[in-house]
Structure 1
Amino acid sequence: MKPSPFTRLAVALGILLSVGLAAGAARAAPIVVKFSHVVAEKTPKGQGALKFKELAEAALPGKVEVQVFPNSQLFGDGKEMEALLLGDVQIIAPSLSKFDRYTKKLQIFDLPFMFDDMDAVDRFQSSPAGQALLDSMKTKGIKGLAYWHNGLKQLSTNKDKLTRPEDVKGLKFRIQASDVLEAQFRQLGANPQKLAFSEVYQALQTGVVDGQENTWSNIYSQKIHEVQKTIAVTNHGAIDYMVIANAAWWDSLPDDVRAGLQKAMAGATAYANKLAADINDRDRQRIADAGEAKIQELSKRDVAAWREAVRPVWSKFQDQIGEDLIAKARASNGD
């Protein structure tokens, strides 16, 4: 028996309604933004990522969902860049030392004693030359969104004495995967070992390496002070991050979403960078209070000896980085 016209109309309306509801649901589905990083949530970068999530979802309610994955939950140091380029994650925040495969110019941040303090780092990153570096890897599929501070690096070892360059001769040091950092330790007569951040504590604990370089907040959060005897206040370099996105994904976003994420990133950057200074001060005091590693202050003559010992590293990488960029970075010190 043929269905009545009323039945056919009801079926048609039902189909249209189902299609409409499905289309509405598809339109309502938020854009998922996976933000992966390798440090603890309580570090400046960890807190910055959470602040970005908070601000982005507040600015774009129902349009974006930011999922934060700390502590190498998705990928370790060696895999996160590949994951970003494959589109498995949308945003990561690697150390500036991780980019020398994509541009040699960012090696500027690894040159030892390039910046006198974090204010100088900030001035350079905010300058036209520093901002231009954010787009220096666009052709490689990487879009720089912001610089996030961690802080100045301190040197630590499992030895009692750490005041002059000769004190590290022959020791094994964990480094990030950076040609400049490798050259830095070889220049000092030490043996650099490239290890992922997540492996540092165990490597120090078991004697695979004798020392490392890191910020106060990283040293405290990873409990490095528990497996080192001495931390020298060298302030010999900065560990900062570039927050980056998959360039193709970023360019494909609707204009309003991209603008909202940019605004959220600006807010998260201001928050994270202020927090970095506060947390480093706090964690230095916590390390001192714990009494497990001696904090070794250096005299001006000690620091001058370190500067002189690593000066040849600048000459080695000057052509790769560019004399003009080095000059602009030095000018940020105001000396």
Structure 2
Amino acid sequence: MPLSAQPRRGTHNLCHRSEEWGALIQKITRRGVIAAAGPLIARPALAQAAPIVMKIGTATINDSQHQWMRLFAETVQARSNGAIKVELYPTSQLGSIPRMIEGTQFNSIQAFVGPPEFLSGVDSRFELLGAPGVFTDISHAHRAMHVPEFHRAFLDIGLGKGLRGIGLFINAPTCFNTRNRIDRLADFEGRKIRVLASPVQTEQLRRLKATAVPMSLGEVLPALQQGTIDGVMSAMPVLTALRFYDAAKFLVETNQAAVTVVTVVSKIWYDGLPPALRTVVDEAGRKADDDVFPWALDFIAQQRKVWTEAGGTITSLPPEDQARLVELMRPIGQEVTARRRDQATLYEAMLRAAAATRG
């Protein structure tokens, strides 16, 4: 995403605390929710004496995640007649990614926007959209993600843990940025590559005979500069925004997966809204999904130009190596999800959506 990954320890803690959070959320009584939301429920829909504040946080700025927030805020504030005041907090102003997720669960903030892989500690199904070899390109991914059966099922993953999905959109295709040029598939062997801390991503590096290194986004550029790592699997907009071309100018576009973004809101907050305002929030999320996609496509093209003008290079693998890459990667999603029935069910729904929208 700006696909920032948090420290391994933070992600680890998030995984271990997810059950605890779920139990705590389930203990919140109906009386408690109504008491907390009383001022919201008591006011007539769309005619609030004072606006309901909605704080939305993300880790990035001036990219598709931030643009989605802007589009969403404009629609919500217009359609609610000012009843909801949306406040945007990019660049982790509301805390680290694990803290923003936790804050959204417990309604200290109202929404988080970021790659769904960061929510895999809440529920491992959130990482499924990053499975490689499912989509032919990001336009195909956009169509498939919005097939109603899959779209609603994915957005509902976090309901039992205090999170309701309202947005799902594309950031960019995957690529690799490295200190030394990658010309062939064999060049990945032995390289240390930063990834997000999810089995779907770490397994991709294992199949390339490389070492997966999960780490915080803030640590990546210094690690590249110092040679602690050899590269990063990410997306073009993240790499240009943080000027990665100063430390590692070589970029190879592999496009084996789509880098996606999900927006989740606090279920406590959402359930406390009057029905008319819940509809406004849901419709604004869907509209922002549609509106941000063409913006993201233009942004990717702009960032490719930024990269090359700054002295970076962009290459692709030879066709036979690209075909071999996809062949190696395609089984990962099914193998990872086979361990749990709920994962397998959602992954199969994604495959059906992909098949229905291909071409």
Corresponding residue for residue 6 of structure 1: none
2:325 is aligned with 1:301: no
CA deviation after TM superposition for structure 1 residue 296, in Å: 1.1
Corresponding residue for residue 325 of structure 1: 349
Per-residue CA distance 1:170-199 (angstroms, 9 max, x = gap): 211111121211111122221212122333
Corresponding residue for residue 31 of structure 1: 52
1:78–1:174: structure 2 CA closer, same or farther, 3 Å change rule?
farther
Question: 2:158, 2:135 → 1: CA distance?
Answer: 23
1:276–1:318: structure 2 CA closer, same or farther, 3 Å change rule?
same
Per-residue CA distance 1:192-223 (angstroms, 9 max, x = gap): 12122333323322323211122221211121
CA deviation after TM superposition for structure 1 residue 158, in Å: 0.5
TM-score (norm 2): 0.79
TM-score (norm 1): 0.85
Per-residue CA distance 1:115-138 (angstroms, 9 max, x = gap): 111122112211112332111221
Unaligned runs of 5+ in 2: 1-41
2:355 is aligned with 1:334: no
2:280 is aligned with 1:260: yes
Question: 2:353, 2:214 → 1: CA distance?
Answer: 26
Question: 1:287, 1:106 → 2: CA distance?
Answer: 30
| Aligned match for 1:149, one of 154, 161, 170 | 170
Query: Does the Cα contact within 8 Å between 2:177 and 2:250 map onto a contact in 1?
Result: yes
1:29–1:330: structure 2 CA closer, same or farther, 3 Å change rule?
closer
Letter aligned with residue 180 of structure 2 = K
Corresponding residue for residue 286 of structure 1: 306
Question: 2:261, 2:204 → 1: CA distance?
Answer: 20
Greater Cα offset, 134-143 or 319-328: 319-328
Letter aligned with residue 299 of structure 1 = P
- 1:45-64 aligned at under 5 Å gives the runs 45-64=65-84
Corresponding residue for residue 22 of structure 2: none
CA deviation after TM superposition for structure 1 residue 284, in Å: 0.8
Question: 1:318, 1:132 → 2: CA distance?
Answer: 16
The secondary structure found in structure 2 opposite 1:295 is strand
Per-residue CA distance 1:20-67 (angstroms, 9 max, x = gap): xxx99xx62211100000011x10111111222222222223412111
The secondary structure found in structure 1 opposite 2:60 is coil
Question: 2:169, 2:350 → 1: CA distance?
Answer: 20
The secondary structure found in structure 2 opposite 1:213 is strand
The secondary structure found in structure 2 opposite 1:112 is coil
1:203–1:299: structure 2 CA closer, same or farther, 3 Å change rule?
same
Question: 1:169, 1:258 → 2: CA distance?
Answer: 50
Question: 2:296, 2:304 → 1: CA distance?
Answer: 12
Greater Cα offset, 113-122 or 150-159: 113-122
1:311–1:148: structure 2 CA closer, same or farther, 3 Å change rule?
closer
The secondary structure found in structure 2 opposite 1:79 is helix
The secondary structure found in structure 1 opposite 2:133 is coil
Corresponding residue for residue 100 of structure 1: 120
1:260–1:334: structure 2 CA closer, same or farther, 3 Å change rule?
closer
The secondary structure found in structure 2 opposite 1:209 is coil
CA deviation after TM superposition for structure 1 residue 277, in Å: 0.8
CA deviation after TM superposition for structure 1 residue 311, in Å: 4.3
Corresponding residue for residue 8 of structure 1: none
RMSD: 2.2
2:209 is aligned with 1:189: yes
Question: 2:130, 2:245 → 1: CA distance?
Answer: 23
CA deviation after TM superposition for structure 1 residue 316, in Å: 2.6
Corresponding residue for residue 276 of structure 1: 296
Question: 1:312, 1:254 → 2: CA distance?
Answer: 45
Corresponding residue for residue 219 of structure 1: 239
Query: Does the Cα contact within 8 Å between 1:231 and 1:294 map onto a contact in 2?
Result: yes
Question: 2:307, 2:171 → 1: CA distance?
Answer: 17
Greater Cα offset, 75-84 or 315-324: 315-324
Corresponding residue for residue 12 of structure 1: none
Greater Cα offset, 304-313 or 180-189: 304-313
Corresponding residue for residue 246 of structure 1: 266
Question: 1:51, 1:267 → 2: CA distance?
Answer: 8
The secondary structure found in structure 2 opposite 1:139 is helix
The secondary structure found in structure 2 opposite 1:93 is strand
Letter aligned with residue 38 of structure 1 = A
1:143–1:91: structure 2 CA closer, same or farther, 3 Å change rule?
same
Greater Cα offset, 104-113 or 234-243: 104-113
The secondary structure found in structure 2 opposite 1:233 is strand
Per-residue CA distance 1:134-159 (angstroms, 9 max, x = gap): 11221121101010210111111111
